[in-house]
Amino acid sequence: MRCFFLPIFVAVLAVCCGSAAAASRPPNIVWIVGENLDHDLGCYGEKLVATPNVDGLAAAGTRYMRVFSTSPVCAPSRSAMMTGMYQTSTDTHHMRSHRDDDFRLPVGVRPMTHRLKEAGYFTANIKTIGTEVVGTGKLDLNFVNEGPIYDSDDWSQLKRKQPFFAQINMPEAEYDIYDRKSGEKPRVKWVGEEDPSFPQIATEANVTPPPYYPDHPVVRQEWARYLNSVSQMDRHIGVILQQLEKDGLTDDTIVIFFADNGRLEARGIHWCYDSGLRVPMIIRWPKNHPPPMAQPAIDEQVVSLLDITATTLGMAGIERPDGMKSRDLFAQERGPARTYAFSARDRIDETTARIRTVRDARYRYIRNYAPHATYASLNRYKEKCFLIIPLMRQLQKDGKLSGPPLDLMRDRAPDEELYDLDTDPHEIHNLATSAAPTHQAALSRLRAALDTWIVETNDRGHIPEPPEIVVPFVKEMDAWFGTPEWARGGK
């Protein structure tokens, strides 16, 4: 009888010891990073998408409702996330800057993955799982001289390299264009759209684009293509989650899903409205590594996407470095939740601008330091890829725009903008000149908050880039995307 039970006892002991060993080491951490997303997911209430995998993450974790990126475009936002410092403080605030010079990050500022590696983590930026392409391997950082950011891009190493930190950048939602170095002209289509299985849930007939666009077939078609790209993204996320389960890693891996900046739409990405800055974020804690405190299914606190850095370090047992502006959402000593989330937009490729904004739970305040920079300003990438922009130029020329779409095509932006997101979710009614006491109180409070942040974080946006830095971008973007007829002659 003893001989019969001995193998069972040994097997049970091995399982228990394995579980104890897994629980004794820090958790694995996976970032699933969506491209250019707002709250356009089933779990956030969007009906015209199929996102069962992200929705499942939300059902098993916490869905954050008020998370805002520090920039409405990828490279500055990712530079902030990778360091835990505002891009405006580290001179990484201009799009595609410091790619071919001797720039180094300020003293004491380091890539987050270097800190993780020193703590014993294996780091990876995953492109494929087996033969399935699940990520782009994208870095897109405005610093390149800090040494390797990741150890590997090989998923197969993760199981034997625990604890690990893996980042997976989703191909969607993004336009599919050839690499600039190839000399090919861009294709105006969405990543994966040529696949016969590309989702077609949203259609021109069933979508309702925001009221700051004209009601036009092109607008509806583009909105549907974007939503279908979100559904396509969810399929790749399913592959990732299934592989975690297959490899026996689910119970030891914290999964964080978020986007790098807001929605890929003409008035989303590049602009400091909620559509360009608000992102989804979902955190699912594993069985063997529960959160340090009970977590709600839905979290309404104001969060800066910058906080993803210190939060990830905290999950790995690493204290937030002195001076880091990122906050650990789960630190016992973290204090009260943020009242404000701050964001900034500066030069994007050849288009110069300086916009600063602050968001609280209800209001958004925007300050335009360069009021000449508006939605109607020339940006050759957007002019080529975002079909809505040339459409609106033609409709304006033909006298067929009115209301918010016409307002969007103005040549000069207001110096200040204030929006009440509770009553105006599309941010089309500027309250900065409203005499209402509640609006004036919000305006004064948010002005003061932004002024304080600019000083306290040493915002470097007031320092202009030399012309010799900007001019090459004009030439490159003209060669790649072309210059529309209306903009020729120096306009």
Q: What's the CATH number where 120 sits? A: 3.40.720.10
Residue carrying the six token digits 């739970």:
361
Query: For residues 306 and 258, what is the distance between their CA atoms, to the nearest angstrom?
Result: 12
Is 268 part of any domain? Answer: yes
Residue 336 is predicted with a pLDDT of 82
Q: What's the pLDDT at 335? A: 73
Residues 6+ positions from 292 with CB-CB distance below 8 Å: 330, 332
The radius of gyration of the chain's CA atoms, rounded to the nearest angstrom, is 23
pLDDT of residue 24: 79
Asked if residue 209 is part of any domain, the answer here is yes
State how far the Cα of 56 lies from the Cα of 63, in Å rounded to an integer: 11
Q: Is residue 1 a part of any domain in this protein?
A: no
What distance in Å separates the CA atoms of residue 62 and residue 300, rounded to the nearest whole number? Answer: 10
The pLDDT, as a whole number, for residue 1 is 47
**Residues 6 or more apart in contact with residue 12 via CB below 8 angstroms:** none
Distance of alpha carbon 158 from alpha carbon 121, whole angstroms: 10
Residue 70: the pLDDT is 98
Q: Is residue 60 in a domain?
A: yes
Task: Note whether residue 158 is domain-resident.
Answer: yes
The C-alpha angle 84, 87, 92, rounded to 5 degrees, equals 120
Question: Quick one: tokens of 11?
Answer: 């097997």
**Largest CA-CA distance found in the chain, in angstroms, rounded:** 94
Taking the whole predicted model, whether its pTM rises above 0.95 is answered as: no
3-state secondary structure of 219: helix
In a domain, 3, yes or no: no
- pLDDT value at residue 15: 46
Q: Which residues have a Cβ under 8 Å from the Cβ of 182 and sit 6 or more positions away?
A: none
Per-residue pLDDT of the chain (491 residues; tens, 9 = 90+): 445 455 555 444 444 545 555 567 899 999 999 999 999 999 999 999 999 999 999 999 999 999 999 999 999 999 999 999 999 999 999 999 999 999 999 999 999 999 999 999 999 999 999 999 999 999 999 999 999 999 999 999 999 999 999 999 999 999 887 555 555 655 668 888 888 999 999 999 999 999 999 999 999 999 999 999 999 999 999 999 999 999 999 999 999 999 999 999 999 999 999 999 999 999 999 999 999 989 999 999 999 999 999 999 999 999 999 999 999 999 977 678 899 999 999 999 999 999 999 999 999 999 999 999 999 999 999 999 999 999 999 999 999 999 999 999 999 999 999 999 999 999 999 999 999 999 999 999 999 999 999 999 999 999 999 999 999 999 999 988 899 999 986 54
| Residue 18 falls inside a structural domain | no
Q: For the chain, what's the residue count?
A: 491
Range(s) of the domain holding residue 458: 28-486
Residue 362, in any domain of the structure = yes
CB count, 10 Å around CB of 41? 25
Give per-residue burial for 376-396: e unless 16+ CB within 10 Å, then b: ebbbbbbbbbbbbbebbbebb
pLDDT recorded at residue 337: 87
| Domains in the chain, number | 1
Which pair of tokens denotes residue 386? 């975002």
Give the separation between CA 164 and CA 160, rounded to whole angstroms: 9
